[in-house]
Structure 1
Amino acid sequence: MHHTWMRYFSPAPVHHRLGLVCLGVGLQHGELPTVGPRTLDHHVAVVVSAGGGWFRGPDGHHHTVTAPALLWLTPGVPHHYGPDPSWDECFVDFTGPATATYTELGYIEPDRPVVPLSDATGARATVGRIARAARRGNPLLEVETGAAVHELLVALRRARADLAPDGDPVLHALARDAFQPLSVAEHAARHGMTPAELRAAVRRGAGRSPKDYLLGIRLGRAKELLAATELPVAAVARRVGYDDPAYFSRLFTRRVGMAPVRFREQQGRTLPGGWSDRIPDPDDPPMIEPPHAT
């Protein structure tokens, strides 16, 4: 016996310009029928939360599926899978131009059709929101479900069994040391790695090079210092790891699209009385409490 619930949608061309659109959602459990062999023209994320089964791709290789696990079904790639004897699954069909970027960043893995998960709870909660948004007559259907697909890809990335929930420990160490004036080779040496090994680890965990990963952290902090303090640009540069303020300014301008002084003019929030002495701490965000009822 098996139970199945599913809905399918047909977003308009304007919705596709949002980057991702949801084409369908479903929840199933029990002794489900085998799927395929078949080939789709869009992506599907199948989250198996209980039970087990098998998956076979175009190379004929037989993968054992043990919950919790994710099955990636990608466009143009034949697939064939099913429970043995039963499993619980939820699935989301989606497409859009942003799938190429998510693939480049490693959130979608066409070459890894079966991905072990540490926990399916977060992904199932997001699919549940898509299912609730799928009620008939919801005027926000396409935008609400499309936004949830972005959330689902993040939830699945966090749930991968081969990574800690917040990413590879190497990434945490790089973030901790990001403001020290170290080269990529020096960062690698600190971790007992070659530069090539560090590049591979950061590419796997963050979808980009170590240099670009560090640059994003440094410029983000520089923006905070420019907006919330009255420190001179040269001092901001030194705080985020650049001894040459001219080089920092060129780098900031190229990446942000405006010079540091211009960014401060637009975003400055310094106040009389010492606010500039209390720089926002990214590891200790304030709690925003809901207003009390009156």
Structure 2
Amino acid sequence: MDERRTTPQLDLPLHRLQVPRPHLLPFAIGSFDTIGPLSRAGFPHRHAFFEIVYVTGGAGAHVVDLVHRPIRPPQLCVVAPGQVHYWTEPEGLTGQVVLFNEDFLLGHPQDLAALRTLAARPVLPLGDRARAVGALLADMEHEYEVRPAGYPGVLRASLHILIVRALRARAPGETGAAPGRRTELASAFTRLIADPGGVQLSVASCAQELGVSTGHLQTLVKQATGRTPGRLIRQQQTLEAKRLLAGTSLTIRQVSREAGFGDPAYFCRFFRRETGMTPGQFRAGVGGNHHDPRITSIAAAPGGP
């Protein structure tokens, strides 16, 4: 259901959504087997689309943006465009995989912000919500396979319900209510900088892209997220640098450029200030595992980040 493409300058695969009748329905749902072997790919790669994975059985681990989580079914995982992920030693994975792009969410724009929130936590344990989530996904898969009259609307509504239930699993009482202006702007800003090319943007260029003043962007993003736009850009630059150091063979100079820094020396100082390690030390610590060994034990703990 998805196609592997390699970004020439990064040698980090980018998967683009390939589904039947993409001009009608940029959406697919199925099992790991029906979606295809790339649904459990064992190499670091990015998506140009959203993926929601509901794991009901199996063993192994899932690594999303350097965070390593053992598979403990039943659990839900949301992977957003631009994130780097892969599976390690997957055995007997069962469940459902949902693939879709932003165009599929036009009727529920607030779901974009919710999905970014969910993607910030690699795994959502479902507990007693698993039965309801499983039933909802089974109904969505049936709609997708049978395609009765009005099925696109049913799928969009069901996806919205799935996202709301996932938010409840993350933080009880969070229902995905309709956003205000500041939430919409903050969501648009985070989507903008989450794109691999977005790390090279400044606060001023982001404001221009979004059609607001720099001061207005500063105020609304700080109110919505508790962090300044500049801080969010720096965090995104750090994450992108980690992705490239862990998942590619680019030189430090090349990583510096791709992460939005013109001066490699400044990049090295920046990276050390943000992480406590030089880029070389980080890459050496990651080795061939493609995840940050310092956060494995924290991430594996229940309720971890």
Q: Shorter-normalised TM-score: what interval?
A: 0.3 to 0.5
TM-score of the superposed pair, with normalisation by structure 2? 0.42
RCO higher in 1 or 2 (8 Å CA, sep ≥ 6)?
2
Q: What is the TM-score when the length of structure 1 is the normalising length?
A: 0.43
